[in-house]
Amino acid sequence: MIPENEQEILIKRLGKRIRELRHEKGISQRELALECEFEKSNVSRLEAGRVNPTYLTLCKVAQALKIEVVEIFKF
């Protein structure tokens, strides 16, 4: 199994990856949130690695960034 502290690291890394991808597209959290149809505060939460997102949330982010979901996992 994956220990508690490593789980934290995993979602923090995912958050950083999403931020990285967003920066590559040159858009703000607010713009990403608009595309995803959720609030900008929730994008911040996601990028900060303060939540363990579901698959569909990641699909929405990928769609908003106009990339394939698989790209998110290419750390």
Contact residues: a second copy, CB under 8 A? 1-2, 7, 10-11, 14, 36-37, 52-56, 58-60, 63, 68-70, 72-74
- Residue 5 binding target from a second copy, DNA, none, CB below 5 to 8 Å by type: none
Residue type, 59: C
- Contact (CB, 8 A) for 23 and 8: no
What is d(CA 52, CA 8) in angstroms, rounded to the nearest whole number?
Answer: 9
Q: Which of 52, 63, 69, 73 binds DNA (CB under 7 A)?
A: 52
Q: How far is CA 40 from CA 43, 61, 62, in A?
A: 5, 12, 16
DSSP state of 62: H
Q: Is 37 in the site for DNA (CB under 7 A)?
A: yes
When binding is defined by CB under 7 A, the residue of 21, 35, 38, 67 that contacts DNA is: 38
Does residue number 34 form part of the binding site for DNA (CB under 7 A)? no
